């Protein structure tokens, strides 16, 4: 039997690349003027590094070989989301007044099964990990509740693997779309995810080890929260005390996004409350 621990960088990279191509439509996203301006700056930045650092032919060829392997292992989505997306997100959401967003990352799948709050995420019988009750309210910036708001949630399991990107996991494991109640409140039962390690056997892992970096993201829950007439927010929530809160390899932690769950009175795991504030659509 194939289990999630046998996940390979190439298989999860191929999955993430296929998902990206299906979900993101990029034709006509920008004009010739912008392509000229942005591509010219990118090329110049690379040439400046070569000149300043006196890059050798051996280094140039190592770089070329590495870029080829990023494509071969399907790791462009992983590479870009880990090292570039955070600044794109900062620019995109600079003018919001509601809850903080952060990066989407490579493992979102749209159209997870819809459930009404209170809900339990799809999970295996005896899903490993500490049970977590995640609850809260969705409001607008004026403090009014948003009944029927949609909370899309996805996260890794207790070994740090995502369903549909590692073998042996049920299709929608730890993924769901939950509608808030008439007061905009939601209650979601799940388990606490484990920290995520960038696959060590792919191109991103090779870069990390060649550079002497670490490969970790702190444990996190991904969310997309939306309501009619409001801007969708893509975010992540983290856990206080996590070893990599201060040095996330993906630079996606913000202090407002760190949860401090408490033990439940009934002893059944932990619980935490977090409210989402959505900006109006412009
Ligand atoms: C993840 O789980 C993730 O959230 C990001 C941003 C990059 C790689 C793996
Ligand atoms: Fe993630």
CATH match for 92-278 among 1.10.3720.10, 2.60.130.10, 3.40.640.10, 1.25.40.340: 2.60.130.10
| Residue 222 CA, closest ligand 1 atom number | 4
Task: Give the pLDDT confidence of 36-56 residue by residue, as tens digits.
Answer: 999 999 999 999 999 999 999
What's the confidence (pLDDT) of residue 171? 97
Closest residue to atom 4 of ligand 1, CA basis: 105
The neighbourhood of ligand 2, an ion, using CB within 5 A, equals 105
Residues sharing a CB contact under 8 Å with residue 58, sequence separation 6 or more, in sequence order:
none
**Looking at residues 249-278, what average pLDDT do you find?**
96
- Express each pLDDT in 126-170 by its tens digit: 999 999 999 999 999 999 999 999 999 999 999 999 999 999 999
> What is the residue with the minimal CA distance to atom 5 of ligand 1?
105
Average pLDDT, the chain: 96
Residue 178 has pLDDT above 80, yes or no: yes
> Do residues 276 and 257 touch, judged by C-beta distance below 8 A?
no
How many A from CA of 105 to the centre of ligand 2? 6
Q: Give me the residue spans of the domains in the chain.
A: 92-278
pLDDT at residue number 1: 66
Q: Is 81 in the pocket of ligand 1 (CB under 6 A)?
A: yes
Instruction: Report the run of H or E that residue 90 belongs to, with start and end.
Output: helix 85-92
Q: Is the dihedral of CA 18, 67, 86, 45 positive or negative?
A: negative
Average pLDDT over residues 159-186: 97
The reported pLDDT for the residue numbered 26 is: 79
Burial of 144 from C-beta contacts in 10 A (0-12 / 13-18 / 19+): exposed
Residue 262, pLDDT above cutoff 80: yes
């Amino acid at each position: 039997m194939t289990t999630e621990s046998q996940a390979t960088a190439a298989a999860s990279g191929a999955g993430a690349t296929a998902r990206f191509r299906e979900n993101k439509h990029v034709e006509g996203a920008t004009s010739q003027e912008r392509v000229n301006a942005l591509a010219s700056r990118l090329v110049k930045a690379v040439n400046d590094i070569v000149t300043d650092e006196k890059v050798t032919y051996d280094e140039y060829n190592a770089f070329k070989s590495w870029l080829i392997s990023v494509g071969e292992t399907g790791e462009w989505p992983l590479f870009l989301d880990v090292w570039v997306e955070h600044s794109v997100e900062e620019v995109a959401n600079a003018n919001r007044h509601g809850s903080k967003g952060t990066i989407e990352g490579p493992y979102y799948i749209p159209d997870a099964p819809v459930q009404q709050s209170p809900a339990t995420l799809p999970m295996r019988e005896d899903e490993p990990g500490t049970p977590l009750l995640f609850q809260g309210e969705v409001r607008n910036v004026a403090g009014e509740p948003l009944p029927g708001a949609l909370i899309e949630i996805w996260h890794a399991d207790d070994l740090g693997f995502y369903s549909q990107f590692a073998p042996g996991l049920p299709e929608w494991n730890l993924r769901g779309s939950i509608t808030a109640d008439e007061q905009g409140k939601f209650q979601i039962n799940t388990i606490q995810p484990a920290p995520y390690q960038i696959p060590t056997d792919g191109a991103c892992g090779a870069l990390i080890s060649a550079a002497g970096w670490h490969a970790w993201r702190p444990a996190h829950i991904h969310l997309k929260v939306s309501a009619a007439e409001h801007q969708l927010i893509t975010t992540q929530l983290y856990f206080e005390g996590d070893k990599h809160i201060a040095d996330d390899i993906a630079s996606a932690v913000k202090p407002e996004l760190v949860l401090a769950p408490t033990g439940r009175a009934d002893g059944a795991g932990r619980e935490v409350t977090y409210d989402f504030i959505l900006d109006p659509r412009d």
